[in-house]
Structure 1
Amino acid sequence: MAIALRLSRGGAKKRPYYRIVASDSRSPRDGKYLEQVGTYNPVLPKDSEDRVKLIEDRVRYWLGVGAQPTDRVARFLDAAGILERKAKNNPKKAEPGEKAKERAEEKAEKAREAEEAAKAAAEAPAEEPAAEEAPAEEAAAEEEKAAE
């Protein structure tokens, strides 16, 4: 029988409270367990002493008979100085996903196109606005003559 040291959830909706238990790894999360070896109350502030409580001698016993802690329980045991947790290395942790990369590429491409359009507009001769103003001036002159 494989034994796990893990969290068993209790408490009300949106108000979690966990028992740290030694249980058969095949049993349900909140199901039957062999022994309760501590508690964890995530609602309390991080610096509170009552946030994580462990019965050290029982935890050491279960570790001695081969119980495997889950990642979260291993963190608690490491903080309590009972078990040293191996540091995990995930070099891709901060790297964005594929879709985020695609969106960033599309945004950069649109920015380049807008920049090229602005550059082309700046290099174009300034005769076009003058051509548009000329008919407007003629129309204004014709209106003045008609008014006289």
Structure 2
Amino acid sequence: MATKIRLARHGKKGYPVYHIVIADSRSPRDGRFIEKLGTYNPNTNPATIDLNVDRAVYWVGVGAEPTDTTRAILSNKGVMLKHHLAGGVRKGALTEAQAEAKFAKWVEEKEAKIEAKKVALKGVATKSAKERMAAEVKVREERAAALAAKLAEQAAATTQTEAAEAVAEEAAAE
């Protein structure tokens, strides 16, 4: 039986969430599968990937063929690197401890990059929010100044008309 590591689409229309599954290559995309390895949510920034790395390494090791997208996801989570390091251990090029140390170092660097991206995105969002708030404050101040000027004109006009009426009343009284 030829197995594939592929995505099974779930979620609502226009908002997909995918399950990463092991399935027979002849079964339909969202059909029967052998094992669920994790989930992939492309709607977040950066995309959220939950994956059982050990099971994924096992399936890659026994010959399951990942699709192009799942290969990118597996590479992103370090499954392909771990499989490569396991091959080096089998051949005697390095020890299990060295392979684990290399993988742990890689995972640490990858998590740091992801965290840096999250912080940068949050900083951009905060900056744009501050800019929008400053623009709103400026518009509000301009409106308040225009309203104050209009009220001052109206007050001056009313005092002039009241003064003219008072003069007219005095003239009429004399």
CA distance in 1, matches of 2:35, 2:63: 15
1:19 is matched with which residue?
19
Q: Provide structure 2 residue ranges, at least 5 long, that are not aligned to the other structure.
A: 82-174
**Deviation at residue 17 of structure 1 after TM alignment:** 0.6
For residue 61 of structure 1, the aligned residue among 47, 55, 58 is: 58
**Deviation at residue 75 of structure 1 after TM alignment:** 0.5
CA distance in 1, matches of 2:11, 2:22: 19
CA distance in 2, matches of 1:53, 1:20: 9
**Deviation at residue 15 of structure 1 after TM alignment:** 1.0
CA distance in 1, matches of 2:74, 2:10: 21
- Report the 3-state secondary structure (helix = DSSP H, G, I; strand = E; otherwise coil) of the residue aligned with 1:9: strand
- Greater relative contact order, per chain length (Cα 8 Å cut-off, separation 6+): 1
CA distance in 2, matches of 1:80, 1:17: 17
For residue 75 of structure 2, the aligned residue among 70, 73, 78 is: 78
Task: For 1:36, give the aligned amino acid.
Answer: K
1:37 is matched with which residue?
37
Task: Give the alignment's Cα RMSD to 1 decimal.
Answer: 1.1
CA distance in 1, matches of 2:78, 2:52: 13
CA distance in 2, matches of 1:5, 1:13: 23
2:6 is matched with which residue?
6
Deviations 1:11-56, CA, capped at 9 Å, x for gaps: 111110100000001100000100000100111111x5xx111101
- Report the 3-state secondary structure (helix = DSSP H, G, I; strand = E; otherwise coil) of the residue aligned with 1:39: strand
Task: For 1:63, give the aligned amino acid.
Answer: V
**Deviation at residue 80 of structure 1 after TM alignment:** 1.4
Identity of aligned residues (%): 48
1:139 is matched with which residue?
none
| Greater per-residue helix proportion | 2
TM superposition score normalised by structure 2: 0.45
